[in-house]
Amino acid sequence: MNYRIVTTILTATLGLSACGSSSPAPKAVDNVRRDSQAAAKALKVLFAKHFEAKLRLNPSQAQAIGDYRFNHLLENSISDAYIQKSRELNDSYLAIARAFSTDGLSVDDRLSLEFFIDIRQRERDAEAIPLYLLPVNQFHSLPNDFAVQGSGAGVHPFAAEKDYRDFIAKTSAFSQWVDTAIERMRQGIEKGVVLPKVLIERTLPQLEAQFAHSDLKKSTFYGPLNALPKDMTAEDKKALVADYEQAITEIVMPAYQKLHTFMAKEYLAAGGSKDGLGALPGGDAWYAYLVSHHTTTTMTPAAIHDIGLQEVARILREMDAVRQEVGFKGDLKEFFKHLTTDSKFFFANKDELITAYQDIKAQIESVLPEFFDVMPKTNYEIRPVEAFREKNAAGASYQPGTADGSRPGVFYINTFNLRAQPRWGVETLSLHEAAPGHHFQISLQQEMSDAPKFQRFSDSTAFAEGWALYAESIGKELGLFTDPYQYFGRLSDEMLRAMRLVVDTGLHAKGWSREQAIEYMVTNSALAQSDIEAEVERYMAIPAQALSYKVGQLKITELRARAEKQIGSFFDVREFHNQVLQSGSLPMSILESKIDAWIRAKQPQNYTTTD
């Protein structure tokens, strides 16, 4: 479809301003050039209008990227009204994007359009999956996110009085969300779509922590009141504190208590006895969609399971080579026990743990320019996981900063169990979560000022997690892993990602139980028991997400090997990294097409040399 037809549709159906002339199609070269420019402009309008509409529908997404216009709003993404609006928005833009002609568009614009269509189609496919029937789990759900925001350590700012007033305004919306969540879970009970009992049990302490304090000042939500804006008068501060405390005691705490009561009694009693999606009505189709969504591939659960088994066997052989290198006399199982029980491999206290990560941060940053000639402007901080969620949180995680650098990224370390954070894991975990892993990749993506905003702030799990695991794999090139124990740490983390291919598919496609999954991971790794249990329960709560790490890393590694072989002496790793990182978080199929095109352009026959 011609861009003029597209802009007419945009104007008529979505209320957008038209771009370009409405005169007959030009024939002269200059006019063709102007026509191409107008087409590119129309495409940018399409992307910009959709992104704006998406932010208005999802205020939390706006807040996460540093756009604070909608701070007083909180979307109810599990309500019928929201789902309907989201469907209408997605369908409208998908139809327009598919009709958009690529004639005259630049390579970058064509890639952006392909990427945009891919995202819209995946969102459309998701509409068939009733994710809203399972709105709460111990890893990713609004009750946890809202508590982090309310603590003052999340994405909601508390710099001015208006920020506090905005958060107070959101408390009523949170209470409404809780009512909707309870309604959805009751619908789930009727349909036989309920969380496994163990996951319900894991959420209860997290919810209880938000209303159980007799002293209000110990509440997670009281944190911002300990750092009120200095430019406020004493009278204004007093009024704000009174209103804020009222919102906590009369809206927030009762909402958490209501949700806890429902889940502890009615929902727990209906909790599932099976641990995978395959046991739910339509669960096989649900899982197949999630596998495709998270890996951005057409791989089947069975194929992924087999790759996982192969990778586990390979990594075990490399682990045994490390055992021999350090001169350990026992077998590999005994070596695992040695690494997880000898006190020399663990930190004495939380401060020592955090300091170790601060030290490795400086070491990695000193060598990055040799491998990357484009560096993030945004810095990152290293923080311990907040006390209210540390018991059931992952061992580490990354929270992105803002594109303008006003809010740094955060590399969270879980200090709850020091035995789950061995010394030999520091280098690998830092590479993965911080630089050149998540912080590096996400910051560069957000800082692509010339790219459409949807491309700057999208999130393809296979790309993001695949890149982070690839970042681990180049540790030796960066001068790390000179200590064989640290290299074992790298293998240990790679083993975790390989086991995920086996265990996640085992739970959801092959009928494995939680206990069977735990036993498999105990047998094949040196991970702490608490970590293994948390990992397995994570796969149960967020099916297929954990598959994306290894699938994505294998593809990026494959593409690099292909480029090195075909480009030969013209290959520059910094250029390769730029090609991977400078278009955003692409689906694997689109990334592969992009790298293949770059390889063709860089092959020796495309160069001329003179003596």
C-alpha 521/C-alpha 537 separation (Å) is 12
Residue 549: CB partners within 8 Å, gap ≥ 6?
A: 465, 466, 468, 469, 497, 500
Structure tokens belonging to residue 310: 């192969």
Q: What is the pLDDT of residue 518?
A: 97
pLDDT at 392 (0 to 100) = 64
Q: Do 490 and 477 contact (CB within 8 A), yes or no?
A: no
By DSSP bridging, strand 380-384 and strand 396-399 are unpaired
- Give the tokens for residue 504: 């996640």
What is the C-alpha to C-alpha distance for residues 569 and 579, in angstroms, rounded to an integer?
17
Let me know: does 569 contact 316? Beta carbons within 8 Å: no
Q: Classify residue 386 by its DSSP letter.
A: P
Contacts within 8 Å (CB) and 24+ apart, 26-34: 32/104
Q: What is the model's pLDDT at position 389?
A: 75
Q: Which pLDDT does position 24 carry in this prediction? A: 36
pLDDT, position 406: 85
Q: Are 357 and 380 in contact (CB under 8 A)?
A: no
**pLDDT average per 10 residues of sequence, the chain (611 residues):** 44 39 38 69 95 96 91 97 95 95 91 96 90 93 94 92 97 98 98 96 95 90 95 96 97 98 97 92 94 94 98 97 97 94 95 96 95 94 86 82 88 91 96 96 94 92 96 97 97 96 98 97 88 92 96 97 95 97 96 96 66 43
In the three-class reduction of DSSP (H, G, I as helix; E, B as strand; rest coil), residue 506 is classed as helix
| Contact residues for 605 (Cβ-Cβ < 8 A; gap 6+) | none
Query: How far, rounded to the nearest angstrom, does the alpha carbon of residue 426 sit from its chain's CA centroid?
Result: 21
Other C-beta atoms closer than 10 Å to the C-beta of 159 total 11
pLDDT score for 606:
65
Q: Which tokens sit at 298?
A: 């057409």
Asked if 371 and 571 touch (Cβ cutoff 8 Å), the reply is: no
143: preceding bond cis by omega (within 30 degrees) = no
Per-residue CA distances from 597 to 40, 111, 348, 559 (Å): 21, 12, 51, 12
Tell me, what's the pLDDT at 327? Answer: 97
Query: Can you state the percent helix, strand and coil of the chain, rounding each to 5?
Result: 65, 5, 30
pTM, two decimals, is 0.85
List, as one string, the DSSP characters of 15-33.
-PPP-S--SPPP-SHHHHH
The pLDDT score that the predictor gives to residue 35 is 67
Q: What is the pLDDT of residue 607?
A: 55
- Helix (H) or strand (E) holding 383, with range, is strand 380-384
